[in-house]
Every structure is written in structure tokens, then in C-alpha cells.
Amino acid sequence: MTGAPAGAVVIGVGNEFRGDDGLGPAVIARLRKLALPGVRLAVSHGEPTELLDLWSGTDLTIVIDAVCCEHTTPGRIWTTTAEAMASFTTATSSHALGIADAVKLGRVLDRVPDELVVIAVEAECFEAGTQLSVPVADALPHVVTTVLAELARHGLSTPPAAL
């Protein structure tokens, strides 16, 4: 976590040493270069209580995660809510407990952000290594643009230009 509490937090979930699972941290690295005012940026391994701490007190939380799918199209991007993601039977996080679990716990503890947007990217490989697969690497700039569009929708950044 970096900085003081903000109106928005963008959380990149993942492990940069597990192939496509490094997508979330890679998105955060790109966003850090943009110095977005009023937006806190964080990387998380996806542990639910850590997510609760990161998004506590925010109006808008955007979470980026690579997901496993039964019938996958690597690089396909979904923008959804955690509640909708929990109802999908063919996609799960690569983590033991995922974002939907954090939302359930957050509801019990009254620690859910006002708005939670999940940007999920279908992954190809979670094997050891620091390289994203080609389809997920190709999706990375589109994910950054999607995050910037969500922030702009909430008046927290300028609309995205070509990255």
C-alpha cells in the first residue's frame, strides 16, 4: 500500500513470479508512472483481509486479477463486479481465496467499498517465471485504458489517451 487513504484505490492482485499472475502488479507499475492524483495504487497477493484493509474507506475500488477459466480465451478482458464474478462457474482466481471471498467477509464486517469494479483477464499460464504470456501481455495496455476510463467516469482522472 502507498500513500494516505483516497477516494479510489486500484489494486493489482497477483504474483509477478507466476507468469500471467503477474498481470495485476504489471498494471500497477504502469499506473504508477502516470502519478494519478487522488488514487491510491497497491499490489496484493489476494488474501481477503489484506484486500479489506486496502479498500477500506474508499468510494471506488478497482481490482485487477488474472483468472483461470474452464474454456479460456487467454487475454480476454472482463469488467464486472465482484458479485457477478462470484456467480460465474467457469472462472476463478488463481489464489486459494479470491475477490468474491473478500467481498463476503467485507459484508459481514461492514468493510465493502461503495463501488467495486473487477477487471479480470483470462490467463494462459501460471507457471514459475516473470514473463506474461503473449495474449495477456497484449491485453495489458487495454487493461490500463479500462482502469483509466473507470477513474475518469468517477472524475478521478482525465479520459485515457493512447498508451
Q: What single letter denotes the amino acid at residue 44?
A: S
pLDDT band per the 50, 70, 90 thresholds, residue 5: very low
Name all domains of the chain by residue range, CATH numbers in brackets: 8-153 (3.40.50.1450)
Residue 1: pLDDT band with limits 50, 70, 90: very low
Chain centroid, CA 161 distance in Å: 20
Q: How much is the mean pLDDT over the chain?
A: 83
> 137-161 burial string, b = 16+ CB within 10 Å, else e?
eebbeebbbbbbebbeebebbeebe
Task: Among 49-63, 75-89, 126-140, name the most confident range.
Answer: 126-140
Q: How confident is the model at residue 85 (pLDDT cuts 50, 70, 90)?
A: low
pLDDT of residue 44: 94
127-147 average pLDDT score: 95
Tell me the mean pLDDT in the region 4-10.
73
Q: What is the pLDDT of residue 89?
A: 45
- Can you tell me whether residue 74 is helix, strand or coil? coil
Residue 95's pLDDT band (boundaries 50, 70, 90)? very low
- pLDDT tops 60 at residue 90: no
What phi, psi does 87 have (nearest 5°)? -85, -15
Give the pLDDT of residue 142: 97
What phi and psi, each to the nearest 5 degrees, are found at residue 11? -115, 120
Does this model's pTM top 0.85?
no
- Residue 48, pLDDT score: 83
**Confidence (pLDDT) at 3:** 45
For the stretch 112-121, pLDDT in tens is: 777 889 999 9
